[in-house]
């Protein structure tokens, strides 16, 4: 078994007999017995849980150390996004108004 973070692989020659994309480790694809397959799945779950636990610890420490700064940064970003959305809506309205006026002009000129 080879582990790369929360991703694990059990063998190099995985077949795709069940229609999988070749990354399947089900017993019919990998030729494993159900007990070995269960062991592998528990191992993968444990590695994924360990990764999440570590991530949660770091997140909590970052919150404690930089919380107010992160909040201010988030406020700045949300404000900037709001301004971009407002500008995009205004631009769209201006474009629609221009198209409407040009349509009216062309309609009048062909009548």
Taking alpha carbons only, the member of 109, 7, 16 closest to residue 51 is: 7
At residue 110, the pLDDT reads: 79
Q: Residue 24: which residues within 8 A CB-CB, separation 6 or more?
A: 14, 16, 18, 30
Note down pLDDT in tens along the chain; length 111 residues: 455 544 555 544 444 345 555 566 666 666 667 888 889 899 999 999 999 999 999 999 999 999 999 999 999 999 999 999 999 999 999 999 999 999 999 988 877
pLDDT, one tens digit per residue, over 60-81 is 999 999 999 999 999 999 999 9
What are the boundaries of each domain within the chain?
Answer: 2-109
Task: Please state the pTM of the whole predicted model.
Answer: 0.46
């Amino acid at each position: 078994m080879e582990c790369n973070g929360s991703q694990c692989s059990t063998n190099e020659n995985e077949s795709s007999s069940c229609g999988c994309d070749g990354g399947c480790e089900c017993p019919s694809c990998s030729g494993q017995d159900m007990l070995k397959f269960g062991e592998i799945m528990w191992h993968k779950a444990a590695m994924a849980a360990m990764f999440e636990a570590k991530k949660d610890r770091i997140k909590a420490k970052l919150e404690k150390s930089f919380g107010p700064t992160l909040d201010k940064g988030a406020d700045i970003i949300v404000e900037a996004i709001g301004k971009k959305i407002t500008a995009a809506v205004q631009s769209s309205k201006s474009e629609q108004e221009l198209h409407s006026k040009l349509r009216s002009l062309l309609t009048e000129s062909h009548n």
